[in-house]
Structure 1
Amino acid sequence: MYILLVSLVWWTYNTVLVILGMVVVCKVVATLTSPATHTIAFFHPYANAGGGGERVLWKGVAAAMARWPSARILIYTGNEGIPPEDILARARNRFAVELPREPIFVFLATRTAVESHALLRPTMLMQSLGSMVLAGEALFRARAHVVIDSMGYAFTYPVFSWIGGAVVGAYVHYPTISTDMLAAVVAQRPSYNNSSLVASSVTLSSAKATYYRAFAWLYGFMGRRATMVTVNSSWTHGHIAALWGMTSPALRTVFPPCDCATFLELPPPDAPSRSLDIVSVGQFRPEKDHLLQVRAFARARATPGFPAQAKLVLIGSVRNADDAARVAALHSLAAELDVADAVDIRTDVAFPDLVAALGASTVGLHTMWNEHFGIAVVEYMAAGLVTLAHGTGGPLMDIVGPPSAGRGFLATSLDEFADQLVYIYAHLPEARAVAAAGRASVMRFSDDVFDAAFTDALALLEPVSAPSP
């Protein structure tokens, strides 16, 4: 604990020094340089990742290009060493997104400031301060009249607006902190972001709750530096409205773009070509709780009558060594539970292969607690899968809805997920009818709906975004 505290103080002290130095340098540069061409920048340090956030990025870039056809479009990203053509090819292959013209990539060398390291796991504050370093480097390398943060790094907004003189817009996928996280700490409930060590101690829990409250205030102050904020769900809207104190029209919900048309072309839920497999799509991050999926599948598989031929297919992207370690842990757990032969883990799958996997399966599984939205859940429903999702956040409030909506199935615990899987396979005709109803509801999340809503939101940046004559 002492070593961690010393590391935290040392890291914070040095980060503040770096930020102060970059503020001075960037302010000098900002007074000397200004882009002659109207310039729109997207701040997305992980532009080459394969998750739903990156689909929002590339669809957002396409919308900006359509709205400002003569503007220069920049992508601030930390994907050094990856050729721009490879990043764009990945966007095409994974998301079927084709841009009308190529953006300019501005590669940032300081992305490690927001990443985990072998000897130190950064706190929310450390990552937020680190994002300010990234923003400072972005300004140093290339300024823009408008900066759109598409990853939710609110601490960058004062850097871009106060130092860079830019108008700031944002697409927020989930709040860095939420009242749910605070409640988990106060209740001393262990979770992926509240360790058992802290949860078991009244003193540590009290200290962490104080830290969370202070950070929440600071987070709101930084977030209010944005002129336009779009969020991806009703759940996220509620938290951002409360934390940032923003209201419509500056704050609005724009559901993320889902390629519904492609998935709607797949066979109907009861097609004979479908296997009995269960498929899960999501980055291999701890909050996605793939471990719960393996455990629930193993428990359901041990139930008499559960189809022996059903497999669990886990599909997701691997961003770094931590993600790779989580994949290895999943293999180990599957072996420990004696279901290794029925668990198929596929990493960095191309979009056509992803579509094919959904079209060949029966159930779509999602287990993230308080998922901010859940693009994968929409894809399951559009693909005609019987959808079993976590009964919180976006899946509950916007996508699947309560059980009375009849669009899918919900669960919140290991027992409930296992029981729901058993129920689905024991009542397949009924479950497939639910899947058909869910499929009929997904066009409200289509690319066209996103394009119209996001383009409308961009208008809030337009009156003040044009460069001075």
Structure 2
Amino acid sequence: MAVLYLLLSLLAPLLVSVIFLPKTLRFVAELVGHHLRRSSRTRRELLLARVAHETKRYESEHKEKSNEDDDWEQITSAAVGSAVNGGRAASEWNGIVGFFHPFWYGFSGTVEEANAGGGGERVLWAAIRATQKRWPEAVCVVYTGDHDVDKVAILKRVKERFNIQLHPPTVHFLYLTTRHWVLASTWPRFTLLGQSLGSLVLAYDAFKLLVPDIFIDTMGYAFSLGLSSFCFPTVPTGAYVHYPTISTDMLDSLQVGGQGVNAGAGAGYRGMAKKKYWELFAKLYCRVGSTIDVVMTNSTWTQSHIKTLWEPYRIKRSKSEDIDVVFPPVAVEEVTEAVEVSEASEKNRGPYLLYIAQFRPEKNHQLILEAFASFLHSNPHIATYNNKAPKLILIGSVRNSHDDAKRVYKLRLLAHELKIEDNVEFICDAPWPQLLEWMSKASVGVNCMWNEHFGIGVVEYQAAGLISVVNDSGGPKLDIVIEIDGKPTGFHATTVEQYAEGFRKALALSPQDTLAMRRRARKSAERFTDRGFAEKWLTNMEKLVALQVERSRSKAS
């Protein structure tokens, strides 16, 4: 087995190059797909038998049902045979949907991502729930690399963390053994290409276990979808893209004066080589993206970049489906229930600036500290708010690495050097209830990441009624901190001076204007609920089901 995986890793570039090769080699890829489908046929039969057994047992054990169980009862008795000649209509589809999701933050990731409904994972569970309710006889299979948790524990954690109730009989998990191939640590050089090629090995591992009827990636492994398209032409593929693996902004950032963690890295011969490597990888990424049937993005910013990269190639392949924006589901209802926004609650708030973000370089905590120092020092006689002094609260997780801990230490030193240590508080690895508590006490929510692809934390700020001061880029600018009813819900900034001015404006509003902006912010957050996500998800999922039905009929005829 190890030899096979080693061989696959050596052949991975050849598998990718199928994109450029004539139809004869595509035929070879389909032969490989036929072999994989045949070798996993027994597991498919066993899986369907298990689903039938668990369904009967579930129904017998839940005769006395809660309200949520009643909801499942309403959808588990779908009629069959309404299509032509007594066949199944697309609305009664009962195939297998494979969700490619090798990592779960809820079990091994960061505290704020897990507790606050970390973007990628919440999308997965909300998508499965919507799919189950729309097609109750379909089976949702999740390919994962987390071997240390079983189905019961997973579904329990999903309910506890995300308040998402899944129907146990029709959701199952298949465990991958090759996840290390997509770890950055496996590829210390040429990481982007290495991880993408590694995803081919991981996808092959998944298809050996089971070939689904529809294959969906929710983590950004576009190459896995490309492999599926070539090996299984009748299997529709779908991608939910949180951010592009590479973008034009990344290429531009290499220039002197660019932004982000790679700013200025394009200088010199090594920089030129890096830029050429990125450009070549971008072309390969574009060609792989052109093979995907249905593409969803989590924000307007991501959509714009994916369209720029993929759409020209998709047009050549006659991919008629547009690239759709499907905002991720955010725990808006949970925040609004926990945090009051009213005249009475204003008495409990202080002039506190809240920044919830992992202590990573791209979150740019240093700029926020400098901006807060500028704000304090330029307003030495600033009036207190509810008899409280302004304070910056930095809440974030510290990953299990020496670099993160060292970064927090350096930030503490910087606060001391800026003479603001008495007005800054660091809180590491805060639980979700503590985050809610601070959202109810703070007045301003801060975001400083350049080109944040969406910004779930900013939506949570708005749901809590915080006035946001966010980076003038990405999702926070284009989708979240926008005007509502023709009036602002926060402020945008880029430089230290602009952030300092944003803080001043946010805290200088009159009580009436402050409360009005908080209410507009909360209204803005209502666009990002679980229900809104489910409706858009199903619109795109219906396209995949229709494609699967159509291709299956064409193959049969």
TM-score (norm 2): 0.73
Identical-residue share of aligned pairs (%): 35
CA distance in 1, matches of 2:320, 2:302: 14
CA distance in 2, matches of 1:433, 1:91: 35
Q: Which moved more, 1:48-57 or 1:290-299?
A: 290-299
Q: Does 1:172 align with 2:241?
A: yes
Question: 1:203 matched to which residue of 2?
Answer: 269
Question: 1:287 matched to which residue of 2?
Answer: 362
CA distance in 2, matches of 1:118, 1:333: 30
Amino acid at match of 1:287: E
Choose from 522, 526, 532 the match for 1:443: 526
CA distance in 2, matches of 1:41, 1:424: 46
Question: 1:267 matched to which residue of 2?
Answer: 340
Amino acid at match of 2:245: T
Contact 1:278 1:362 survives alignment (8 Å): yes
- With over 3 angstroms needed to count, the CA separation of the structure-2 counterparts of 1:32 and 1:58, relative to structure 1, is same
Q: Does 1:128 align with 2:196?
A: yes
- With over 3 angstroms needed to count, the CA separation of the structure-2 counterparts of 1:161 and 1:437, relative to structure 1, is same
Amino acid at match of 1:334: R
Spell out, residue by residue over 1:122-177, the C-alpha distance to the aligned partner (whole angstroms, 9 max, x if none): 52212211222221111122321111111121111122222255321111111111
Deviation at 1:353, TM superposition (A): 4.1
Spell out, residue by residue over 1:53-99, the C-alpha distance to the aligned partner (whole angstroms, 9 max, x if none): 22111111111111221222111222232444444444334333222
Deviation at 1:451, TM superposition (A): 0.9
Within 5 Å, which residues of 2 pair with 1:387-398? 387-398=468-479
CA distance in 1, matches of 2:253, 2:184: 23
Within 5 Å, which residues of 2 pair with 1:313-328? 313-317=393-397, 321-322=400-401, 325-328=403-406
Contact 1:294 1:334 survives alignment (8 Å): no
Q: Does 1:376 align with 2:457?
A: yes
Deviation at 1:456, TM superposition (A): 1.0
Choose from 14, 28, 36 the match for 1:29: 36
Q: Does 1:454 align with 2:546?
A: no
Q: Does 1:296 align with 2:378?
A: no
Choose from 415, 418, 429 the match for 2:497: 415
Question: 1:257 matched to which residue of 2?
Answer: 329
Contact 2:12 2:200 survives alignment (8 Å): no
Within 5 Å, which residues of 2 pair with 1:57-68? 57-68=124-135
- With over 3 angstroms needed to count, the CA separation of the structure-2 counterparts of 1:289 and 1:132, relative to structure 1, is farther
Question: 2:282 matched to which residue of 1?
Answer: 216
CA distance in 2, matches of 1:241, 1:141: 33
How many residue pairs align between the two structures? 452
Larger of the two Rg values belongs to structure: 2
SS in structure 2 opposite 1:148?
Answer: strand
Q: Which moved more, 1:292-301 or 1:371-380?
A: 292-301
CA distance in 2, matches of 1:192, 1:84: 39
- With over 3 angstroms needed to count, the CA separation of the structure-2 counterparts of 1:231 and 1:149, relative to structure 1, is same
Within 5 Å, which residues of 2 pair with 1:42-121? 42-48=99-105, 49=109, 50=114, 51-101=118-168, 103-117=171-185, 120=188
Spell out, residue by residue over 1:345-391, the C-alpha distance to the aligned partner (whole angstroms, 9 max, x if none): 232633x4433332232111111111111121111111101111111
Deviation at 1:119, TM superposition (A): 8.7
* Aligned residues: CA RMSD: 3.2
TM-score (norm 1): 0.85
Contact 1:315 1:347 survives alignment (8 Å): yes
CA distance in 1, matches of 2:164, 2:354: 23
Give ranges in structure 2 of 5+ residues lacking alignment: 1-5, 17-28, 49-94
Q: Which moved more, 1:262-271 or 1:217-226?
A: 262-271
Amino acid at match of 2:327: F
Deviation at 1:277, TM superposition (A): 2.7
From the two aligned structures, give the one with the greater helix fraction: 2
CA distance in 1, matches of 2:482, 2:543: 31
Q: Which moved more, 1:171-180 or 1:436-445?
A: 436-445
Contact 1:128 1:155 survives alignment (8 Å): yes
Amino acid at match of 1:361: A
CA distance in 2, matches of 1:112, 1:191: 30
- With over 3 angstroms needed to count, the CA separation of the structure-2 counterparts of 1:459 and 1:411, relative to structure 1, is same
Contact 2:354 2:444 survives alignment (8 Å): yes
Spell out, residue by residue over 1:276-312, the C-alpha distance to the aligned partner (whole angstroms, 9 max, x if none): 3322334444433334334433443445245574443
Q: Which moved more, 1:35-44 or 1:87-96?
A: 87-96
- With over 3 angstroms needed to count, the CA separation of the structure-2 counterparts of 1:331 and 1:184, relative to structure 1, is same
Give ranges in structure 1 of 5+ residues lacking alignment: 1-11
Contact 1:57 1:150 survives alignment (8 Å): yes
Deviation at 1:195, TM superposition (A): 5.7
Spell out, residue by residue over 1:16-56, the C-alpha distance to the aligned partner (whole angstroms, 9 max, x if none): 34676998977633233343442111112222342222211
